[in-house]
Amino acid sequence: MKRVLWFALGVGVAAVVVWKGRELYRKWTPAGIAGQLDGARASLTESVSDFFATVSQARAEREAELREALGMDAETADVD
């Protein structure tokens, strides 16, 4: 009975090792690395886009606060 238990345990461990090994192999192939880079690029693009949207919104809010504090009309054109 003990031998059957150890045999079953060994088969289970071998199956997990093979499954994880294939997963790692796919991850480190050129196609897997390209997929990881695409995911990182998409994440970076989204983060940069969110950053610029936040900065733009904060700039507009601060400009409105300053115009209100200085008593300037929102219609006043900027002179560059």
pLDDT per residue of the chain (80 residues) written in tens, 0 to 9: 899 999 999 999 999 999 999 999 999 999 999 999 999 999 999 999 999 999 999 999 999 999 999 999 766 555 55
Domain ranges of the chain: 19-66
Q: How many CB atoms lie within 10 A of CB 34?
A: 10
Q: How far is residue 10's CA from residue 23's CA, in Å, rounded to a whole number?
A: 20
Would the pTM of this model clear 0.85, i.e. be above it? Answer: no
Q: How far is residue 76's CA from residue 6's CA, in Å, rounded to a whole number?
A: 84
